[in-house]
Chains A and B, each alone.
Chain A
Amino acid sequence: MIHMSDIDFSFDPQWAQTLSMPFMHNAFIAGLCIAVAAGAMGYFTIARHSTFAAHALAHIGLPGATGAVLLGLPVSFGLGVFALAGALVIGALGKRASQREIATGTVLAFATGLGLFFARLSSSASQQMQSILFGSILTITDDQVIGFALFDILLVIVLAVVYRPLLFSSLDEQVAQAKGVPIGLMNVLFMAIMAGVITIAVPAVGTLLIFALVVTPAATANIVASSPLKAMCTASVLCLVSIWGGLVLSAMFPAPPSFIIVTLSTLFWGVARAISALRATNA
């Protein structure tokens, strides 16, 4: 039985010191990298009606992550390999496949179960299960931060090159195909990049909460901003504010960063929805 007096939700006056610690330094830089990647890809995820597929990719990565721990490999490596493999299959099946909710959901559930099975096979994987599911942004290493930064550079270059054809095929695949856009390549490329974004975003919020970091800020940005580029920038800023806000607030109050990140992201979305609804009724 928990009594209210047992729950300590008091302000920590040492929060500024906590923020200046080395692991916090890494967490802030990782947050920036994740925000850039999630903001840019979130727009396309919504435009391509692939939000559920993106959500599922994170779960497909779960057995990879726990399996990697079982084999003594880095979590991100296993997660990335499984997410990429899943992404290539979904991408190869075509844009319509990402809308096949029943097949995607079934694979999602199976993958989550498999992830649990792998986790139970070893005590170390079992210990890491919670941080894979819900994130552990405070434990991000220097190597991970370098990996995230390299991924971001690659992502920005690739997106700059394929931006228009990817946008065109997101708006209408048939017209883009008739005009000569290689839509098969666009599908596979989009899903492959998505797998990368998930691989770097999972350490922050975990596989279960990733929707709030990749899709929710982009959805908020779509309400606020009036062009794809502005929407991507807005989504990145919202994502960044959520992550950094999560880090600062979790240093002040005894709440896990993932919870505050997701709360902020959801709050922004709710406020944007409410304001646009109010405007619509006043107009």
Chain B
Amino acid sequence: MAQSAPQAGEHGDHSGTGTPSAQQPAAIVFSDAAVSRGDHVIWSHGTFSIPRGSVTAIVGTNGAGKTTMMKTELGLLPLAHGSVDVLGEPAGKSNKRIGYVPQSYTSDIDSNLTAEQSVLLGLTGTRFGFHITTKAQRSRAREAMDFVGVADKASYRLSQLSGGLRQRVAIAQALVSDPELLMLDEPLANLDLASQRATVHVLARLNHELGMTIQVVAHDLNMLLPILTGAVYLLDGHPHYAAMNDVLDANLLTHLYGTTVQVVTTPQGDMFVTPSADEPADIEQDTHAPVEVAQFHHHGHQHHQQDAPAAAQPAERS
């Protein structure tokens, strides 16, 4: 789609995006990053890098700081410590090359904007001054809507569309400016199964056909498993990145979700994550001590002492 279109030259500074990913620096680099709200450290000691062309999930329990992480990468929340580089620049500097679809996007819309007008704002919404929408801009909006499969809904108002279709319009709005990185916060929440599948299918095509780097905040990994190359998991107050095979460990996931979890591999090779059926209802979950948790993940040993207070926090809350 528009990624290869001539008008993509608008962002001339990154015209080399098509080169092999081996030549490129990582898409997202965390260096000892920490975020706090007031005195409360949300997470700390985040040191990892996510390669370009990957599809990554950010996973963790409620309140672990998943959305916070995405906002940090967009430079919308300040870091308390360390640094986060995105697409080779400090967080927030590269936002023009990022498509962002927040969680609340699809709810609570009573504006009379049509799908097409909404998508066009992804292209023209930051421009001050008087502008007429050009044919080229319209055709780019059309391409983006085509890609996500909502072109036939272009003249529908957002309020007339189902949650799944609004979600895809939101993705089209994020795509229309030809981003190198697409960030979606809980894109599958509140969608029915068919809409979830359609959204995942769009993400898969963006990654395979355009080589787009994708990051998704997700509650439920199952729907995304076929396309994920890795995951950032927020455990005991620290973010970690791991390739997919390492993440899909029942012990790790059990602690990640704070409830007993099994990883099932079908004879066809498909894997899925499932809560154990025989879980006692009254048992206290997530009972690990920080020392026990150390075996589930690997972070630099040089800051273990600093870890201790922060590591204790999630355990206290659970």
B127 lies within 8 A of A178 (CB)? no
Binds B, one of A11-19, A32-40, A67-75, A225-233: A225-233
B128 lies within 8 A of A161 (CB)? yes
The reply to whether the CB of B114 lies closer than 8 angstroms to some CB of chain A is: yes
Say whether, besides A179-B96, A180-B96, A161 and B129 are in contact (CB < 8 Å).
yes
Binds A, one of B37-45, B97-105, B287-295: B97-105
A226 lies within 8 A of B112 (CB)? yes
Max count, chain B CB within 10 A of own CB: residue among A165, A175, A176: A175
In the complex, chain A residues 163-197 whose Cβ is within 8 Å of any chain B Cβ:
163-165, 167-168, 170-172, 174-181
- Taking CB atoms, residues of chain B closer than 8 Å to A180 are 95-96, 126
In the complex, chain A residues 247-271 whose Cβ is within 8 Å of any chain B Cβ:
none
A161 lies within 8 A of B130 (CB)? yes
The reply to whether the CB of A160 lies closer than 8 angstroms to some CB of chain B is: yes
Question: In the docked arrangement, what's the CA distance between A40 and B204, Å?
Answer: 42
B95 lies within 8 A of A164 (CB)? no
Question: In the docked arrangement, what's the CA distance between A181 and B111, Å?
Answer: 19
Q: Mark B109-137, 1 if CB is under 8 A from A, else 0.
A: 11111100110011011111111000000
The reply to whether the CB of B222 lies closer than 8 angstroms to some CB of chain A is: no
The reply to whether the CB of A76 lies closer than 8 angstroms to some CB of chain B is: no
Say whether, besides A164-B121, A168-B125, A226-B157, A175 and B100 are in contact (CB < 8 Å).
yes
Q: How far is the CB of B11 from chain A (nearest CB, A)?
A: 13
- Taking CB atoms, residues of chain A closer than 8 Å to B111 are 46-47, 170-171, 222
B125 lies within 8 A of A164 (CB)? yes
Question: In the docked arrangement, what's the CA distance between A26 and B15, Å?
Answer: 60
Q: How far is the CB of A220 from chain B (nearest CB, A)?
A: 11
- Taking CB atoms, residues of chain A closer than 8 Å to B117 are 227-228
Q: Please pick, from A47, A160, A172, A178, the residue contacting B130 in the complex, using a CB distance under 8 A.
A: A160
Q: Please pick, from B100, B112, B174, the residue contacting A222 in the complex, using a CB distance under 8 A.
A: B112
A230's closest neighbor in chain B, by CB?
Answer: B112
Interface size on A, residues (CB 8 A): 27
A179 lies within 8 A of B126 (CB)? yes
The reply to whether the CB of A162 lies closer than 8 angstroms to some CB of chain B is: yes
Q: Mark A146-168, 1 if CB is under 8 A from B, else 0.
A: 00000000000000111111011
B126 lies within 8 A of A165 (CB)? yes
Size class of the contact patch on chain B: 20 to 34
A179's closest neighbor in chain B, by CB?
Answer: B126
In the complex, chain A residues 80-100 whose Cβ is within 8 Å of any chain B Cβ:
none
Question: In the docked arrangement, what's the CA distance between A231 and B122, Å?
Answer: 21
Question: In the docked arrangement, what's the CA distance between A172 and B130, Å?
Answer: 21
A181 lies within 8 A of B100 (CB)? no
Say whether, besides A171-B121, A226-B157, A164 and B127 are in contact (CB < 8 Å).
yes
B76 lies within 8 A of A177 (CB)? yes
Max count, chain A CB within 10 A of own CB: residue among B111, B126, B174: B111
Question: In the docked arrangement, what's the CA distance between A161 and B127, Å?
Answer: 9
The reply to whether the CB of B49 lies closer than 8 angstroms to some CB of chain A is: no
Say whether, besides A171-B111, A175-B173, A181-B125, A164 and B100 are in contact (CB < 8 Å).
no
- Taking CB atoms, residues of chain A closer than 8 Å to B105 are 172, 174-175
Q: How far is the CB of A77 from chain B (nearest CB, A)?
A: 31
Question: In the docked arrangement, what's the CA distance between A47 and B109, Å?
Answer: 9
The reply to whether the CB of B155 lies closer than 8 angstroms to some CB of chain A is: yes
- Taking CB atoms, residues of chain B closer than 8 Å to A168 are 121, 125-126
Q: Please pick, from B95, B100, B121, the residue contacting A167 in the complex, using a CB distance under 8 A.
A: B121
- Taking CB atoms, residues of chain A closer than 8 Å to B157 are 226
Q: How far is the CB of A139 from chain B (nearest CB, A)?
A: 36
Max count, chain A CB within 10 A of own CB: residue among B129, B131, B174: B129
Question: In the docked arrangement, what's the CA distance between A144 and B173, Å?
Answer: 44
Q: How far is the CB of B65 from chain A (nearest CB, A)?
A: 17
Question: In the docked arrangement, what's the CA distance between A225 and B74, Å?
Answer: 35
B76 lies within 8 A of A165 (CB)? no
B128 lies within 8 A of A165 (CB)? yes
- Taking CB atoms, residues of chain B closer than 8 Å to A46 are 110-111
- Taking CB atoms, residues of chain B closer than 8 Å to A228 are 112-113, 117
- Taking CB atoms, residues of chain A closer than 8 Å to B98 are 178
Question: In the docked arrangement, what's the CA distance between A227 and B133, Å?
Answer: 13
B114 lies within 8 A of A226 (CB)? yes
Known: A165-B125, A175-B122. 4 other contacts (CB 8 A): A165-B126, A171-B111, A179-B96, A225-B112
A-B contact list, 21 entries, CB within 8 Å: A46-B111, A47-B111, A161-B128, A164-B121, A164-B124, A164-B125, A164-B131, A165-B125, A165-B128, A168-B121, A170-B111, A171-B111, A171-B125, A172-B102, A174-B102, A175-B122, A175-B173, A176-B125, A225-B112, A226-B157, A227-B117
Q: Hey, which bits of chain B sit against chain A, CB under 8 A?
A: 74, 76, 95-96, 98, 100-102, 104-105, 109-114, 117-118, 121-122, 124-131, 155, 157, 173-174
